[in-house]
């Protein structure tokens, strides 16, 4: 990696379970460096940062800010890295929240060629397939839920799996028809930053999918004010029942968390499956 600048200081940044992340203060200004954790031999899969860079590129141009990709590759010891522009922090104001809602609506309104059809990438450290599909429901099952349900260590009982079998059968009727949209794919509140230039999105897991995927993710762990959703709905109205369907879309990140972090997420996954099958 060659910055073309001298590094004056490096500061580890908090947050995230996948990468070791640092702010580099250089003679050319600040940058963000993400690299593979060197813990008990743990390494990120090949192509991980290339996929993230590709996702950031797809999100631009958009009304929302994304960091510039400066470089990615392998360091002197062979560890992968991603070098990004630094996004200075801004204020989380009502105006910024409105801008987030409107900007996300504008991103989702951009025409997409179809469901799926992008290069495969990653959700957290899990491989994420993006095959073409004829519908949002078909894509969500075959490219998102089914690959995780075939994995071991999910702690699911036969009753849980029977519930997912029922969901598979009912999914086409549960998903409202929408044109395909480019979605961030992992839009919990930790992947939204407020900057002086406006709201910013980081760490994408992009796909051409149903736009409610992103709207639901913003509700998964809280921390996103109501006015963000109001601004989104005013700019690009959501179909009736979108709040109830959040449980359906959030089955994917919940299954991923169950696989990555263990059965502490089992109860919430079961609750989401019940709510998805019994929308109100």
- Asked about 92 being catalytic, the answer comes back as no
CATH of domain 7-85: 3.30.200.20
Q: Would you say 138 and 169 are in contact if contact means Cβ atoms under 8 Å apart?
A: no
In this prediction, residue 16 carries a pLDDT of: 62
Structural domain spans, the chain = 7-85, 94-277
Superfamily covering domain 94-277: Aminoglycoside phosphotransferase (APH), C-terminal lobe (3.90.1200.10)
Q: pLDDT tens for residues 175-226?
A: 999 999 999 999 999 999 999 999 999 999 999 999 999 999 999 998 899 9
Phi then psi for 259, rounded to 5 degrees?
-70, -40
Instruction: Check: pTM over 0.85? Answer yes or no.
Output: yes
Tokens of 41: 């031999």
Pick the catalytic residue: 20, 92, 120, 186?
A: 186
In 10 A of CB 124, how many CB atoms? Answer: 17
List the Cα angle 71/78/51 in 5-degree steps. Answer: 45
In this prediction, residue 3 carries a pLDDT of: 61
Starting from the edge strand earliest in sequence, which strands make up the sheet with 7-12, in order? Answer: 7-12, 20-26, 29-35, 80-85, 69-74
**Any residues with CB less than 8 A from the CB of 35 and at least 6 apart, and which?**
19, 20, 21, 22, 75, 79, 80, 81, 82
In this prediction, residue 250 carries a pLDDT of: 98
In this prediction, residue 257 carries a pLDDT of: 96
Identify the band that residue 2 occupies on the pLDDT scale cut at 50, 70 and 90: low
């Amino acid at each position: 990696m060659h910055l073309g600048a001298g590094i004056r200081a490096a500061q580890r940044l908090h947050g995230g379970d996948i990468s070791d992340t640092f702010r580099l203060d250089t003679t050319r200004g600040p940058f963000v460096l993400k690299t593979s954790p060197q813990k008990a031999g743990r390494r990120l899969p090949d192509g991980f940062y290339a996929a993230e860079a590709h996702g950031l590129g797809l999100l631009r141009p958009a009304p929302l800010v994304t960091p510039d990709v400066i470089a990615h590759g392998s360091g002197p010891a062979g560890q992968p890295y991603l070098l990004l522009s630094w996004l200075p922090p801004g204020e989380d104001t009502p105006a910024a929240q409105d801008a987030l809602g409107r900007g996300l609506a504008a991103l989702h309104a951009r025409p997409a060629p179809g469901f799926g059809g992008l290069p495969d990438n990653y959700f957290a450290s899990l491989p994420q397939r993006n095959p073409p599909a004829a519908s949002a429901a078909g894509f969500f099952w075959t490219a998102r839920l089914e690959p995780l349900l075939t994995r071991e260590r999910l702690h699911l009982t036969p009753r849980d799996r029977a519930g997912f079998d029922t969901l598979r059968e009912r999914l086409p009727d549960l998903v409202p028809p929408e044109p395909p949209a480019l979605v961030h794919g992992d839009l919990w509140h930790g992947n939204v930053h407020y900057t002086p230039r406006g709201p910013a999105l980081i760490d994408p897991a992009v796909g051409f999918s149903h736009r409610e995927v992103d709207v639901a993710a913003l509700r998964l762990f809280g921390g996103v004010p109501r006015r963000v959703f109001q601004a989104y709905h005013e700019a690009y109205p959501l179909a009736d029942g979108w709040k109830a369907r959040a449980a359906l879309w959030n089955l994917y990140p919940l299954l991923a968390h169950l696989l990555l972090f263990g059965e502490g997420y089992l109860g919430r996954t079961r609750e989401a499956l019940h709510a998805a099958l019994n929308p109100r």
